[in-house]
Structure formats: C-alpha cells, structure tokens
Amino acid sequence: MTDIAAPPKSPRRIPWDSLAVFPFVLFAVMFLFLPTLSLVGAAFTDRSGSFTFDNIAGLFTDQIMAAYWISIRISGASALLGALIGLAITLAIIRGKLPAGLRSAVMTFSGVASNFAGVPLAFAFIATLGRLGLVTIILRTVFGFDLYRSGFNLLSFWGLTLTYLYFQIPLMMLTIAPAVDGLKKEWNEAAQMLGASQWQFWRYVGLPILWPSFLGTLSLLFANAFGAIATAWALTGSNLNIVTVLLYNQIRGDALQNPGLGAALALGMIVITSLANIIYLVVANRAERWMK
Amino acid sequence: MKTNRFWAWLVFAIGAAYFIIPLLATFEFSLRMRRGTYSFDAYASVFADPAFARSFTYSVVVGLFTIVVGVLVVVPAVYFVRLRMPWLRPFMEFVTLLPLVIPALVLVYGYIRLYNSSSLIPFTGSALGTDILLTCAYVTLALPYMYRAVDNGMRTIDIGTLTEAAQIMGANQVQIIGQIILPNILVAILSGAFLTFAIVIGEFTIASLLNRPAFGPYLVGIGTNRAYEPAALAIISFVITWGAMGMINVLGRFAPRTSARTD
C-alpha cells in the first residue's frame, strides 16, 4: 500500500522508531495478550496449581451449556436479522433512487444508533415495549391487543433480540455501504443489455458480489452481540441466563464457586468469538478483490 | 422502475419507524412523571441529583484521559510503522482487531486476575491505581476506532515527503510529530476522540466490575430504583451520543482533501 522512501538516517543516536512503537506494544502485551493468556492458563489449572482438563469438562453442565446456547441463539438471530434488514435498507437508500439527501442523514443516524447501546438502550425499550411502554399501551387501548397476554415479554429471547437489532442494523448499514457503493452502475446496464431481468441481475451478479461482505459483517455482528452484557443486564438484571451474565456474576462473587471454571467460561467465549472473526477475516480477504 | 422505488420507500419507512418509535416513546415516557400532564420533572429530578453530576463528571474526566493516552499510544506508533517499519503493520492490524474479538467482559476478568492487590503490578490495590487501570481498559476498548481514524488520517497526507521536508529544515523528531504531523491529522484524531468519548461515557461492564463510580453503573442503579428518570437519562445519553457523532460529521468537512495519495 505504501512505498514511502525511507528518509535519510537521522544523525542522532536516539532510536526513535522503537521508542515510538514501544508504548503501543507494551499496551498490547499488558492489556490484551497477558490478560488473555492468564485466563487461558487459569482455565487449565486446578486449585493446587497443577494442569487439569477438569475446568473445561466442567463447562458441560446443563446450566452452562444452556447459557452458551441462548447466547449463541440471541447473537445469531440478532446478527442474521440485523444483517438482512440492514442490507435491505442500505440497498433501498443507495440503489432505490431515494432522494440524495436522505443517504447522509440515514448514515449519520446509523453512526449514532450503532453507538447507542448499553444501558440507555435498555431504558428506551422498557419505555417503548415494557409493560407500561408507549407501544404496549397504544396497542392495548387503541387496538385492543394485549402484547403481554399474547406471550411477548421484553425480558425474553425475542425481546432481547429486538432490542439488539437497534444497534445491529445500523452497524450492518455502516459496514456494508462501501460494498453496495462498489456495485457499479455499468454492471446493471451490461446485464440489461444482455437481456437480464432485474431479478436475474441481483441473483447472478449483485448478491454474489455482496455475499462475502455480507458474511463477513454477519460474523462481526455475531461477536458484537455475543460479548454484549450492559443492555441485557439493565433489561433483565441477573435473571436471563446468558453466558455474559453468568460470567459477570462469576467475576463479581464467584457464583460458580470455582475460579478455574470461570476462566474456562471466559475461554469458551473467546473461542466462539474468534471462530466468528476467523470466518470474517477469511471472507473479508475475498471480498476485497471486488472493492478495487 | 416505479415498483422498485415503491419498495425502496416501503423498506425505508419500516426501518425509520423501528428506529424513531422507541425514541418518541422514550421521550413521551420521560415527560409523564407528573400525573395527568406532561412535564420535564424527570429531567429536573435527574439534574438535581448530585450523584448524576458526580458520576457524569467522573466519566468525562476518564474519557478525556482515555483520549489523551490513546493518542499518545497510537499516533507515534502508526507514524513510525508507516514510515520506517511497514513490516509491523500486520501486527498492528491484528492487535487493533483483538478488542473486537475478545469481549470487554473477558478482558476485565483478566485484568482483575492479573493486576489484583497481591500481584506484581497492583493496579486494583488503590483507588488511583484502579482509575488508571480503568483508563487503560478504555484505551484498549477504543483502540480499533482510534487506530483506524489515525491510520486513515495519515493515509491522506504524504508523511514521507512532509518528514523529509521537515528534516531538511532542521526539525527534530519531536518537532516533526508535534508540529507537522499532528496538525495535519488533527481532524482524524478528533474523529477518533469523539468516537472514543461516545464509547466511554456510558460504559457499564468494566467500570462496574472495577467498582468505579462511573456514569454507566449510576445509570443501572437509577434503572432499578426509579420509574421515569431512566427514560430521561436515555434521552440525555442519546443527545450526548448524537453530539459526539455530529461533531465527527462537522469535522469531516475540514479534513484535508489536497492529498498526495500514496496508495
């Protein structure tokens, strides 16, 4: 990418290069590598300090497996729905011949909404879809439809997924917009001249080109939701048995009564988000070929 | 083509409804504190609470330190790696991707294990030490965004030529970074700074596990004890986030456009 010619060597002897990069490396070691390694180590260590697989084996209990599973389901559902809806809105805005000014407004809003996560987001959804929320009340008084009697609950799988979508959709839109921009108009015209319908263009040209970016962003969204805790915590307190809440309680007060098991729980989370991101890296490499 | 446009508007309208209704509902809810009439009582109650001012100020201060430390860590590293050590780039890309892969919750667990009061570097042994650890944790959290902002900024200016020119004029390395490079990428740095601020200001997980009196844990406390104040706080947080993002947009207009692209 850069081929800047190396400037002439400074006559001074101070090794500026290493000195300048040193804080960055120190930071990476102290606040990323060592903490992670220490957890990996603890996951394979028993109370007396010797090597063991017991902690990993200890993960395979009903409670912990259920926590992982509901976390994976919520992250998967909010990532997949967020990616699909985000792509649809992005296509509508960029390719749907909507007024040009709309795009920058929507993208600015996406920047805000993708950062509007955590505790305030939970408050907003309680005020909207909670038992006293505006939408719940309007549905009941105007349409005679009792949301909560129909089985909906904000503090449930779908409630949390619906809430997560508020930051997942904008994140998808921000990441996928460059790829959608990369779909050249000429390709559509070329396809039309060869007699392709709009549907055929999207089926055989448009979507296959977007596919790698789509998959890549999907894994980013998955990791994003999987590690999230603040929203879930503010919505449900410690009631919802997702893996982040379980780990939070473990860090707070050793809820599993076994520090090694807590470390194993954290290791499991790293493994799952790493898998998602390895897919992202592999796929993003392929996607970049079309971005040139 | 007509149908195409219809679908586009429909998708847009449904999306807009999903994003706007919660904001309207939250705002409406925040006005409901006084019975039978709309009022700003909830906001007044929030602003009258000394804990609000205390925790908010604390988070703003930590946020500012986070930005300063982040800039000091990222800018020189990106500059020298771009200029002299391009072979380190993959390493930097990898490091700055890690905070997106490893959940913050896991990282803070590692910090608590590693830097407890009986360890070699007992960050959590004192309040000041924990504040420093919290700041460093936030720098780590914001690293992907700060790195990308600074890296983009340096890509649009020709740092090789600028450095050579400055050296010919007799500038030393500190002068080059401080007086030549920094002003040229100021807009990019400020974008990264505002994004960092937006991330840090309401952060809950790390602050609560390190037991610091930050804005995020304060929000959760209000959420469990009050009815209308949380809605008011959600609106306030939204306005703050909007302000930070709006600043990035405004700053984008001042970004240098006359660039000698090197890629």
Of A8, A31, A109, the CB nearest to B19: A109
CA nearest A91 in B: which residue? B8
Task: Output the six-digit token pair for A82.
Answer: 């967020």
The confidence band for B262, taking pLDDT boundaries of 50, 70 and 90, is very low
Enumerate the residues of chain B whose CB falls inside 8 A of the CB of residue A165: 18
Asked if the model's pLDDT at residue B196 lies above 70, the reply is yes
Look at residue A7 in the predicted model and tell me its pLDDT. Answer: 52
Answer whether A98 sits within 8 Å of B108, measured CB to CB.
Answer: no
Asked if the model's pLDDT at residue B236 lies above 60, the reply is yes
Percentage of chain B with pLDDT > 70? 95
Q: State CA A41 to chain mean position distance.
A: 27
Enumerate the residues of chain B whose CB falls inside 8 A of the CB of residue A234: 204, 219-220, 223
What string of pLDDT tens digits covers the 292 residues of chain A? 445 555 555 555 567 777 888 999 999 999 999 999 999 998 998 888 788 888 888 888 888 899 999 999 999 999 999 999 999 999 888 887 788 788 888 888 898 888 888 899 999 999 998 888 888 888 888 888 888 888 788 888 888 999 999 999 999 999 898 888 888 878 888 888 888 888 888 888 888 888 888 888 888 899 989 988 888 888 877 677 889 998 998 888 877 777 788 899 999 999 999 888 787 777 767 666 655 4
Q: How far apart are CA B55 and CA B58, in angstroms?
A: 5
Bridge partners of residue A51, in order along the sequence:
A45
* Tokens 């790696």, located at residue: B81
Burial class (CB in 10 A: 0-12, 13-18, 19+), B45: middle
Q: What's the pLDDT tens digit per position in B124-161?
A: 878 888 999 999 999 999 999 999 999 988 888 888 88
Look at residue A291 in the predicted model and tell me its pLDDT. Answer: 53
CB neighbour list of residue B142: distance below 8 Å, 6 or more residues apart: B66, B70, B192, B195, B196, B199, B200
C-beta of residue A42 within 8 angstroms of C-beta of residue A260: yes
Q: Among A200, A225, A207, which Cα is nearest to A90's? A: A207
Which pairs with CB-CB distance under 8 Å and at least 24 residues apart come from A238-243? A239/A155, A240/A70, A240/A155, A240/A160, A241/A63, A241/A66, A241/A67, A241/A70, A242/A67, A242/A70, A242/A71, A242/A74, A243/A64, A243/A67, A243/A68, A243/A71, A243/A268, A243/A269
C-beta of residue B154 within 8 angstroms of C-beta of residue B256: no
At A4 the three-state DSSP class reads: coil
Q: What value, to the nearest 5°, has the Cα angle with vertex B7 and ends B4 and B12?
A: 125
Q: How far apart are CA A268 and CA A68, in angstroms?
A: 9
Enumerate the residues of chain B whose CB falls inside 8 A of the CB of residue A230: 203-205, 216, 220
Q: How many helices (H) and strands (E) does chain B have?
A: 13, 0
Mean pLDDT of the B202-206 span: 91
Look at residue A13 in the predicted model and tell me its pLDDT. Answer: 59
Enumerate the residues of chain A whose CB falls inside 8 A of the CB of residue B170: none
Q: Per-residue DSSP letters for A201-248?
A: HIIIIIHHHHHHHHHHHHHHHHHHHHT--HHHHHHHTT-S--HHHHHH
Answer whether A124 sits within 8 Å of B198, measured CB to CB.
Answer: no
Enumerate the residues of chain B whose CB falls inside 8 A of the CB of residue A13: none
CA distances from B102 to A99, A265, B60, B107 (A): 40, 13, 25, 7
C-beta of residue A97 within 8 angstroms of C-beta of residue B7: no
Of A93, A119, A134, the CB nearest to B29: A134
So what's the ipTM on this one? 0.86
Answer whether A32 sits within 8 Å of B9, measured CB to CB.
Answer: no
Q: What's the pLDDT tens digit per position in B52-99?
A: 999 999 999 999 999 999 999 999 899 889 888 888 899 999 999 889
Answer whether A39 sits within 8 Å of B81, measured CB to CB.
Answer: no
Look at residue B7 in the predicted model and tell me its pLDDT. Answer: 84
CA nearest B15 in A: which residue? A89
The more confident residue out of B246 and A28 is: A28
* Tokens 């955590």, located at residue: A118
Q: How far apart are CA B117 and CA B126, in angstroms?
A: 8
pTM: 0.87
Task: Output the six-digit token pair for A272.
Answer: 């799952």
Look at residue A59 in the predicted model and tell me its pLDDT. Answer: 87
Residue A254 region by backbone torsions, left for phi larger than 0, else alpha for psi between -120 and 50, else beta: left
